[in-house]
Structure 1
Amino acid sequence: MSRCLVTGGAGFIGSHLTEELLAAGHHVTVLDNLSTGRAENLSGLEGHPRLTIRAGSITDQMLLAEVVRDADSIYHLAAAVGVKLVADDPVRTIETNIYPTEMLLQLAVQGGGKPFFLASTSEVYGKNPKEQWTEEDDLHLGPTSRPRWAYGCSKAIDEFLALAYHRKHGLPVVIGRFFNVVGPRQVGHYGMVIPRFVDQALSGGPVIVYDDGDQVRCFAHVREVVAAIMSLMGTPAAQGQVFNIGSDKPWSIRQLAEAVIAKVDPAVRIEHLPYSKAYGDDFEDVRRRVPDVSRLKQTIGSSPQLGLETILDDIIAWKRSQKTADAN
C-alpha cells in the first residue's frame, strides 16, 4: 500500500479522507496547522500505527519538503475555507491558497511525478448564470473590490497551476471542484449553512436565513465525496482533468431551513437577515449553484446520490451526540 500525504487532514473533509485511506490499508501523514481543522476530528484514529500527524503550516517550505519526500501521493485539501473567513480575511485566503500549492506541485515533480489531488471549489464559477455548470464553462468572477471573490480567484489560479504542471511535466494531477460538501464534523463557524441551521434549531431558534432564502444549492454527503476522490485517484483516465464533485439535486436555502426545523423542532421560527448585516456592505452572493456531474459519472461510474433528508438525519444525530458528550 502507498504512503499518502493529506494536507488539511484534520479538517472536515480531510479527516474523513484520512479515515478511508487508512481503512484501505495506506499509510497516511496528515499536515495541518489546526487553524480551521480540529484535533478532535482525528481522535478516533489516535494511536493508529499507519497514521502520522504533523502539526504545522503548509506555508512552511522546509516542512512541506520533508513531508512530500516521504509520500507516494498527495491529497492537497488545506486551504482558507468558508464564506465568512474569506470575506473577513482575503489576504490570508490568497496567501494560503496560492503559494503553498505551487510549492507542493514543484516538490511533486521533483519527487518523480507523484500523483496529486487538488481540492478546488464551485466558487471558481463565480456568477455564471447557467442553470447547471459544466467543467468547461466560463468563470464569471466579480470585481476585485469585493473580497468575496478572492477565494474563487485563488482556487482558479491553483487549477491553472496544477494543469500547467500536468502539461509541462506530465504530473498526474486530478482536480475536484467541491459543491457544498456536508456531514458530521462540519462546523458552522465559517459560514457553513447546514451546521449553522442545525445548531440554531437545536438551541431553540430562530434559524437565521440570509437574504430572501431563494438561493439554490446542492448538498453532498462527505462520505460519498471522499469515495469519489479515491476513485478518481485510482483512475488513470482522470489525470489532467477537472471534475465537479457534488450532488446535482437542488434545494433553496429556505427549503433547507424548513427541512431542518421539521426534523428538530417544528416550533422553531425562521428569521431573515440581510447579507449586509451578516458579511458587510460589499458582499454579494451567487443565486444558484448546481453542478453537471456527467464527467464524474462517465469517469468513475458514479456520483453522490444520498438525499438531503438522509444527510440531515446523519448530521442532526451527530450534533445531538456532541451536545450530550459536551454536557457530560
Structure 2
Amino acid sequence: MLVLDDLSTGSIENIRHLRSHPHFHYTVDSVHNHPIVAELVDQCDVIIHLAAAVGVKLIVESPVRTIETNVHGTEVVLAHANKKKKKVLIASTSEVYGLSTQVPFREDGNLVMGATNKGRWSYACSKAIDEFLALAYWREKHLPTVVVRLFNTVGPRQVGQYGMVIPSFVKQALAGQPITVYGDGSQTRCFAHVADVVNALVKLVDHPSAVGQVYNIGSSEEVSIGTLANLVKTLSGSTSEIVHIPYGEAYEAGFEDMPRRVPDVSKLSALIGFKPERTLEAILEAVIAFHRGLAANTIPPQAHTPKSQA
C-alpha cells in the first residue's frame, strides 16, 4: 500500500502502528505534486483518491483552498491515472445533495446547490465537479472510475478541529466542557464506522460492475445532533452542560445547513451486500475509549486493530 498525504488535516501519529509494516509506504507530500503523483501511480494497481479539504469550519474559512485542493487535486490524479489506465475510486460526499428534500438521498436524485455567495457550498460544488470529471474520463477516455458519496464517516483517531461533530462532542464531554450544538440540534445525520466504509471501498474497487457508477456509502441509523449530544454525555458519564450556538456565530452570517442527511444504500447493498456492522452506540463507545486513552497516554488496543482487515 502506497499512501500520499500532506498532513494538512491529519497526524502522523494516526499511522504509528502501521509504519513498520513491510507493505505500507507513506509519502508526506501534496496531491498537487505532479512528479510524485506520477511516480506513485506508476507503482500501484488501483488508486483510491481520498485527498480533499474537508470539515465545515475549514470550508467556510478557506473556500479558495477548498476549491483548489478538491478540483485540481482530482485533475492531477485522473490525468496521471489515465496515462497508465489505472482504475480510480473517487471519494465524493453526501454534501453534493445540498438543499435537496428528496430524503433518503438516491444516487440518481437531483443535486440542489445553494447560492454561490454562500461559501459553505464551495465544498459540495467542488466535489460535484470531481464526480463529473471522473465519469467523463470513463465515458470519453475509457479510464475505469468509480464514485462514492460518503455520509459522515467516523471512528477513533478522527479529530474535531475542523468541525467533525463526534470527536468534538467527545472531547468536550470528557473534559467537562460545555457540549456545543450548532443551531437548534434538530438537524439529523447518519454516522458510519470507518472500518465498515473501508470494507465497502475495497469491495467496490474490486467489482467490475462498479465502474462508471456512483454509490452512496453510509449508515441508515438517523440521529438528530441534539440527541447525539445527549448520547455522548450519557455514554461518557459526563456532567457537561449542552449549549446551543447559532449557526451565524459558529460559522458565518446566513450559514445554511442540510436539515437531514440520510443515504439510500440499496444500490450498494444490491452490488456488494453492504450492511454496516457497527451501531452508533458502538461507534461512540469506541471513540470515547480512544480519547480516554489519549488523555491517559494509553491508546486502547481496539483503536489499532479494527474489525476490518483493510
TM range, smaller chain: over 0.9
In 2, are the aligned partners of 1:245 and 1:303 still within 8 Å (CA)? no
Q: Which residue of 1 aligns with 2:286?
A: 314
In 1, are the aligned partners of 2:19 and 2:25 still within 8 Å (CA)? no
Mapping for residues 1-328 of structure 1, pairs under 5 Å: 28-111=1-84, 113-325=85-297
AA paired with 1:195? P
Separation in 2, partners of 1:204, 1:143: 38
AA paired with 1:230? V
Shift of 1:71: 1.5
Separation in 1, partners of 2:79, 2:126: 18
Deviates more, 1:60-69 or 1:35-44: 60-69
In 1, are the aligned partners of 2:148 and 2:215 still within 8 Å (CA)? yes
Cα offsets for 1:200-222 (capped at 9, x unmatched)? 00011311111100001000001
Separation in 2, partners of 1:200, 1:155: 31
Secondary structure (helix, strand or coil) at the match of 2:257 reads: coil
In 1, are the aligned partners of 2:49 and 2:91 still within 8 Å (CA)? yes
Unpaired segments ≥5 residues, structure 1? 1-27
Deviates more, 1:181-190 or 1:100-109: 100-109
Deviates more, 1:245-254 or 1:303-312: 303-312
In 2, are the aligned partners of 1:118 and 1:174 still within 8 Å (CA)? yes
Separation in 2, partners of 1:44, 1:267: 33
Cα offsets for 1:285-327 (capped at 9, x unmatched)? 1111000000010010123242111111111111111111189
Separation in 2, partners of 1:216, 1:45: 35
Separation in 2, partners of 1:303, 1:126: 25
Secondary structure (helix, strand or coil) at the match of 1:271 reads: strand
Could you tell me the TM-score, scaled by structure 2's length? 0.94
Q: Which residue of 2 aligns with 1:15?
A: none
Shift of 1:131: 2.2
How many residues of Structure 1 are paired with residues of Structure 2 in the alignment? 299
Secondary structure (helix, strand or coil) at the match of 1:227 reads: helix
Shift of 1:60: 1.2
Secondary structure (helix, strand or coil) at the match of 2:16 reads: helix
AA paired with 2:69? T
Question: Identity over aligned residues, as a percent?
Answer: 51
Separation in 1, partners of 2:275, 2:95: 20
Shift of 1:198: 0.4
Secondary structure (helix, strand or coil) at the match of 2:79 reads: helix
AA paired with 1:186? Q
Unpaired segments ≥5 residues, structure 2? 300-310
Displacement over 3 Å in runs of 4+: none
Aligned-pair RMSD on alpha carbons? 1.2
Shift of 1:120: 0.5
Shift of 1:155: 0.3
Shift of 1:266: 4.9
Shift of 1:267: 2.6
Shift of 1:282: 3.5
AA paired with 1:276? G
Separation in 2, partners of 1:238, 1:141: 26
Shift of 1:37: 1.8
